[in-house]
Chains A and B, each alone.
Chain A
């Protein structure tokens, strides 16, 4: 009797532990299927395809480094790299400055949800909607911006010309994303204890001085995180280009992602497109590593 009562709970515990394993694996099964089929397998498949020639119809043939050699010599590819970088610099620069301004204004002026919601509104519409809306507002002939510009200066501006297409697309995407970025920075600002500002005020520091001496140093790690997160997103610009300019005029706005798309689905050269995707992946991986370094450096700086 006494032995069985001693053994029973043990057996029960062991059975429960075994049940957990079975149940645990059952519960992650659907998610694991998704992970393997749509993250891990494509990753392997994409790298493999980059060493092949593949057009969807016939089986892929292994061509070694041919795609990469072609990439290095492809002027359109390098043009796409330059155009993408131009986009990233304008988009990130403008967006970060504006988002920082909005976040600080929100923190120092009002914590109102209404204000925060208004700033976020463009983020709720798709890139396609944003592109359509600005195509109309910036239209050469009937768009309201050029109507006003013409009455003021006498001449219209072609916002989608070869020299302005990328800056225009960058600004359109700033309009859509700046509220989201501002809210991320705002969340970071909220973590700075208000006592620090009150102390600053007691010491007679101006708002400007408090921004540079308190806000910026304490915000640095979060700012670095936000900056690099938005940068990874902005390297993958596609929707706005696809709707607004289709890469044109000529190649003026043919960003990397659009060139990859065009190569795969316009010319069915999946191997070459995959090689370029690997190139982009390496750039993004480098940025991610940089993020690790920068945020970690920021943390030690704080303590």
Chain B
């Protein structure tokens, strides 16, 4: 590698402003390459986003309209009946007339179930993992590093391997088809969550803790009134990531929930799809259901995009 002398090494900020100036000025050979690169970037972004638009466009169309004009960029015969059907606000006759299967569907219920399960998982996992992370990073006890190594080792256990025995266990606990049964395997911790929080807790200066303890605070008090508030940012980042993962989980809830009483959105969506007739499925309704299932996480993402995007570099280097 060519060694850089200090004089030829401007700060990265200077370099990036220089780059933007170059790209704006109508200058030299760089422009063609840059234009090509930007074209590629825009194409990638279109490939990413257009499917979402197509779902929205379809959900807002009527089934007759879709059949009549399958490539129209705008909704055909725009209406909200697809959504009404999915949210159980249409009578069976109306649903059948619109091309629905007539089977009873009520996504409000599954939406509520998903909220309950994801909240249980997130609150439990983040809180218990924070407790464990505090113990691993801030408390001194014998065998601590060995136990932590075992926790980390669990990162290697692939989910397929735990799914079948976990199902047997949850069945023996008589928790099949309950919210607790769906939430339980991830409610106590994930090795990753413990590791993620431990990294942050270790960086909190020890002096603060010692000062609090001189004031007579116990270690339990330090955890609740000092560590948790100080690690608000990583804790909320982890909570958002956990919520999204729990919300999008499909395999485990599919195994555990049999009826409406515990069925979550992802499973309900798959069931809704399997009920659709093979000939002439209710595309408008199916896409409305897809949107209903995706929208909460897309909104959450819009609210916390920067935080989520920035945390991914960290989660990758685990």
Contacts and interface: CB of A to CB of B under 8 A. Distances in A.
Interface of A: 17, 19-21, 23-25, 27-28, 30-35, 37-43, 45-46, 49, 56, 98, 101-102, 105-106, 108-111, 113, 115-122, 124-129, 132-137, 139, 142-144, 147-148, 175, 179-180, 183-184, 186-188, 190, 194-196, 198-200, 202-203, 207, 222, 225-226, 229, 232, 236, 238-239, 242-243, 257, 260-261, 264-265, 270, 273-274, 277-278, 280-281, 284-285, 288
B99 to A, nearest CB: 12
Given A134-B51, A199-B8, A277-B160, 17 more contacts: A33-B188, A34-B187, A42-B164, A46-B165, A111-B16, A122-B51, A128-B267, A129-B266, A133-B51, A136-B287, A194-B15, A198-B9, A236-B160, A238-B160, A264-B164, A281-B158, A281-B160
A187 B317 contact: yes
Contact of A184 (B12, B128, B313): B313
Interface string B219-260: 110010000000000000000000010011111001100000
A12 to B, nearest CB: 12
A175 B47 contact: yes
A190 B313 CA distance: 9
Interface in B145-201: 147, 150-151, 154, 156-162, 164-169, 171, 184-189, 191, 194
A260 B48 contact: no
B38 interface: yes
Contacts of A186: 313
Interface of B: prevailing SS: helix
A132 B189 contact: no
26 contacts: A19-B219, A24-B141, A25-B135, A27-B139, A35-B150, A35-B188, A37-B188, A42-B157, A46-B162, A56-B171, A105-B37, A113-B309, A120-B309, A128-B248, A132-B269, A132-B273, A132-B286, A133-B55, A134-B51, A136-B287, A180-B312, A187-B312, A198-B9, A226-B316, A238-B160, A277-B161
B37 A238 contact: no
Interface string B46-80: 01110110110010000000110011000000000
Interface residues of B, number: 105
B40 A129 contact: no
A275 to B, nearest CB: 11
Contact of A137 (B54, B157, B168): B54
B294 interface: yes
A184 B81 CA distance: 41
Interface string B294-311: 100110110001101110
B220 A124 contact: no
The residue in B131, B184, B312 that gathers the most chain A C-beta atoms within 10 A of its C-beta is B312
Nearest to B314: A187
Interface string B89-106: 000000000000000000
Contacts of A56: 168, 171
A225 to B, nearest CB: 8
A128 B219 contact: no
Contacts of B10: 198
Contacts of A129: 266, 269, 290, 293-294
Interface of B: 1-4, 8-10, 12, 15-16, 33-34, 37-38, 40-41, 44-45, 47-49, 51-52, 54-55, 58, 66-67, 70-71, 128-129, 131-132, 134-136, 139-142, 144, 147, 150-151, 154, 156-162, 164-169, 171, 184-189, 191, 194, 219-220, 223, 244, 247-251, 254-255, 266-267, 269-270, 273, 283, 286-287, 289-290, 293-294, 297-298, 300-301, 305-306, 308-310, 312-314, 316-317
B70 A41 contact: no
A109 B135 contact: no
B13 to A, nearest CB: 10
B4 A125 contact: no
Given A105-B40, A243-B270, A126 B293 contact: yes
